[in-house]
Structure formats: structure tokens, C-alpha cells
Structure 1
Amino acid sequence: MIQSTRPSSPSLCTDTTIEVATEQQVAVRMYGRKKAGETSPLVVHFHGGAFVSGDLDNGCTVGGLLEAAGARVVSVAYPLAPAHPFPQPLETGYAVLKWAFKHRSRLAGPGALVYLAGEEAGGNLAAGISMMARDQSHPPLAGQILLSPMLDPCVGTPSLRAATGEATACKWADGWLKFFRCARDAEHPYAVPGTAQRLAGLPPTLVLVGDTDPLRDEALAYAARLEAAGLAVKRHVFTQAAQWPDALLQPGTNPCPCAVQVQEQFRLFFEATRCPASS
């Protein structure tokens, strides 16, 4: 492992490189530390950036809030499109998830429960990797946390149209185009979890959006579909959440809107999903 501590961060975090397969290394940022005699939730987290931008610094807001809610966090520097389109970011994320599960006791304590989390494009990856884990029957997940996830490549929901107005350019539409290798990728449930036909077997889900969030409608539609499939879903719409989801992606020390409330939603979700995990 190559490590460098970042004392300037408001969270306790360490940058590291992990080996998830032979000659495959992935840069990650670890938040928090293992607490002696305790077991914490272990969260594999994906930053946003419309699939084409962003880095570990852009994930520091959500990563820090997850840590503050009591979790040990592994934030992933997944490969970006267009150089690395679908399915490469998901395959990298799934490899990190398996690595985290294998090392969960060392990272977060004996019997640590494992979660996926992500904002914007990272929310898409978290949802898609959750389906991969279900289909491979490994590893077991205690939950998925989706903050303003990108789930609709049609980018035509009322909330998105209201936010973009008369603009002819849309960063999310451009991101989707660069994420897909071809039009057929838009039919794959791992690429577009929001239109997946089989939802059974997915873990409990927390969906967080802002009231004026461009991605609000597609996120809430996915939450409704999961709930209709009989799955455990918790959704919350924040008021006065200005500039969501962009505010979640801003590196630095400025608190995002509703930071305290977001942290509390994380904490409540961890409490609600606390249960034994299979090996």
C-alpha cells in the first residue's frame, strides 16, 4: 500500500492504492479508522461527475458525512469515460467492493456490514454494482445509499427541464453519451438501473434528493419502483438544498446545504439496517 495522510481535510482520511486483482490497482481514499472493540458500517463510495469528471476530492463531502455518521468509508477513484466507458467503471467498483468485503473485519471490525453509496454518477454506479452483487450472490449488502443518482439517460424529467430551462447543453446528457459505448448499452440494467426490469433481491435503499434538484424526479421514480417491488426504501427530499447535486461534489471545507440533515439520514439508515450479514 502507498499511503499519504491528508491532515488538511476536516475528516480523518488517508489516500491509498489497493490491489484488487493481479496487476490491477485502484486509488481509494479511506475515511475514519477502526475503533477498538467496536464494529462500524463499511461503505464503498463513488463520487459524482457525470461519468466524465471528478476525483477523490469531489467525493470528500459525502465521504466525510458518512464517516461522521459512524461509518468507515472506502471512496473509489473509478476510471472515467470516454476513455473508460461502461462497463469498466462498474467492474472496477465491483472489484473494490469484493476487496472491501474480504477485508471488512480489518477495516471496520468483526461482522462489519457493507454498504454502497454514491452521488450523481456515483449513485448510478452504486445502484448498478448493487445489481451485480445480487446477480453474483456476493458479497451480501446491508444497503445502498443513493444521493441524487443519475438514472435516466433520456434527461427529460420535469425536474431536470425546470432546472435547465432554455439551455441547449446539458452536462448529464453529454455524460450519458460518453458513458455508453453504443446505443445498446442504454438497455443494460447495470448501466441504467432506473429502467431495470428485475429489482427483487436488492438491499434496503436510502434515496436523498433536494426539492429543486434536477435529478429529483428520476431518483424518486426509482425509489417508487423499488418500493413497488416489495423492497425496503427510505426517501427524503431536502428543502433549501441549493445547488444540489453540484453542492455535494464541491471539494474544500465549505459545508454543503443540509449537511447536518444528510448526516442524520445516514445515521438513521445505518441503525435501521443493522442486522447480521452472511459470510
Structure 2
Amino acid sequence: MAGSTSLAARLYAPAEIAAQAGLVVHLHGGSFTGGSLMEGEAVATMLAEAGAVVLSLDYPLAPAHRFPEALEAAYGALAGIGKSRVRWAAKLAPLYVAGEEAGGNLAAALALMARDRRGPLLSGQILLSPMLDPCLGTCSLREVDAGPVGCHWADGWSDYLGSPDKAAHPYAAPSNASRLAGLPPALLISAQDDPMRDEAAAYASRLQEAGVSVRHHVQTGPTQWPIAYAGAPENGSCLCLACHHVSDFYALTAPP
């Protein structure tokens, strides 16, 4: 892969690639400590079937690689992809970041970094049940009754951050970012039975208040989110419904 950072990746593309198709850099879930390209296949496939070329990145995992190692590696790959996008799509194809769960955190952080570092220019960010709040105090998380011990989201945050003070960094926890203006349009998707439902809603609200164009969808339950990310986007499934939202988002954010 082009760029200063070399990461393994998988390429996904729709059956027919439209001339104006976008290029999506996708990051899988796994609470920062797990997940793989294989486990991200269903979401990456959905993003492609919605009408874009998708590069799914195999980023380094915690605790061996703590914040900001995975994020910097992903940003290096994103910058390289942005410069050489003609290898996979049109020269001026719109560029997106996307991710589910921990990958949604990294995608949101990449959008912040791309703004702050003046590139690459992103046309949008697609956040599926993103892990954005390390406080783990929302109602939707309490509803799953994960408990203070053995909660894989709490353990993932701990392994990713390494120390509590890192949670104050906006790139580590985008929900704590004090400046959200100037970010690309955002699509946030969660579900009524999604543990990340409330933090996704809170982030969508803050983005809107900052003047960012936001589309926020909450699927009706039961969907078994985020487990549902492992299933193919079959007719009637939550990923199939998400595909429609993503396709609409591509159309709204594509250049004229």
C-alpha cells in the first residue's frame, strides 16, 4: 500500500463501479484489542455494495500497540491512499473513512486528524456503533449489564489508552473533542439494542451543534448489534438496512 505506513488491507468493490464511485477506508471493530480483516468482511462488503470501492485496513491492536500507534498507522495509510486513489478509483473520487465499534472510534479520530493536518480532504465519515466515550456511563451501555468486571469494552479502552489521562485527548476519545467544526459530513448508525446507541446519539448532536452535516439513524430492535456486524447484508437484515442509508449518504456527499 502506498504511503509512509504499510498495513495489510483487503479490497472490496461493487459488481459495477460507477464513474463517480467513492473510495472508503474501512476499519474493523474488536474493542481495540481484537478483530481482523476477516471479521470486518461483512461491513466492508456492505460499504462496497452501497456503491463504493473499499479498502479495509488491518491496523495494529492493543495492548501491544497503545494509543496513538494504531491511529497514526491508519492515518499514514489514509494519507497514502488519498494521494494514490487513482489506483483503485477515479483520480478525484470522494474519499471516506468508515468503521464499526472501535473502528468507528478510529474513523472519527481520522476525520479530526485530516482536518487538523490539512489533509487528505474527506467527503464523509461513516460511523457504525462507534466507541467514542471511555467513561462507559451511558444508559445504553448500562442496559446490556456488562458489569464493571469482564466488560470487554471497558477492558478494550483500558488496553488501548494505557493510562486514564489519555482519555482527555480528542483523538483517543472523539466524544471529548472541544472543537468539532470543520469536520466532513457524518453518517452515524446504531440501533435500539446497541450498547453504543447513546454515545452515537450524543456525538451526532454535538456535530450538528458545530455546524457539521449529520445523518443519524437508529435501527429498531432487536438487531443483536454489534454482533450483527458479523452477518452478511441479507435482505431485511440490519446491515441491509444500513446499506440503504450508506448509499444515500454517498449520493448526498459526492461532488456535483
Q: TM-score range by the shorter chain?
A: over 0.9
Q: Which amino acid aligns with 2:218?
A: V
Change (3 A) 1:120 1:37: closer
* Displacement of 1:242: 1.9
Aligned to 2:96: 115
SS in structure 2 at match of 1:56: coil
Contact residue 219 and residue 238 of structure 2 kept, 8 A: yes
Q: Which amino acid aligns with 1:264?
A: H
How many residue pairs were aligned? 255
Aligned to 1:143: 124
Contact residue 3 and residue 81 of structure 2 kept, 8 A: no
Change (3 A) 1:165 1:44: closer
Aligned to 1:200: 181
Aligned to 2:241: 261
Aligned to 1:14: none
Q: Which amino acid aligns with 1:224?
A: S
Aligned to 1:274: 254
RMSD: 1.9
Q: TM-score, normalised by structure 2?
A: 0.94
SS in structure 2 at match of 1:110: coil
| Aligned match for 1:181, one of 158, 162, 173 | 162
Aligned to 2:55: 74
Q: What is the rounded CA distance, in whole Å, between the counterparts of 1:211 and 1:254 in structure 2?
A: 19
SS in structure 2 at match of 1:92: helix
The Cα offsets for residues 48-107 of structure 1, whole Å up to 9 and x where unpaired, read as 000000000111111000110110001000000000010011011101111111111221
Change (3 A) 1:241 1:20: farther
Q: What is the rounded CA distance, in whole Å, between the counterparts of 1:270 and 1:235 in structure 2?
A: 14
Q: Does 1:20 align with 2:8?
A: no
SS in structure 2 at match of 1:226: helix
Q: What is the rounded CA distance, in whole Å, between the counterparts of 2:169 and 2:15 in structure 1?
A: 37
Q: What percentage of aligned pairs have identical amino acids?
A: 47
Q: What is the rounded CA distance, in whole Å, between the counterparts of 2:156 and 2:34 in structure 1?
A: 9
The Cα offsets for residues 175-205 of structure 1, whole Å up to 9 and x where unpaired, read as 0000013222111000000110010110000
Change (3 A) 1:89 1:272: same
* Displacement of 1:111: 1.3
Contact residue 159 and residue 217 of structure 1 kept, 8 A: yes
Q: What is the rounded CA distance, in whole Å, between the counterparts of 2:232 and 2:118 in structure 1?
A: 39
* Displacement of 1:145: 0.3
- Unpaired stretches in structure 2, ≥5 consecutive residues: none
SS in structure 2 at match of 1:83: coil
- Unpaired stretches in structure 1, ≥5 consecutive residues: 1-17
Contact residue 17 and residue 52 of structure 2 kept, 8 A: no
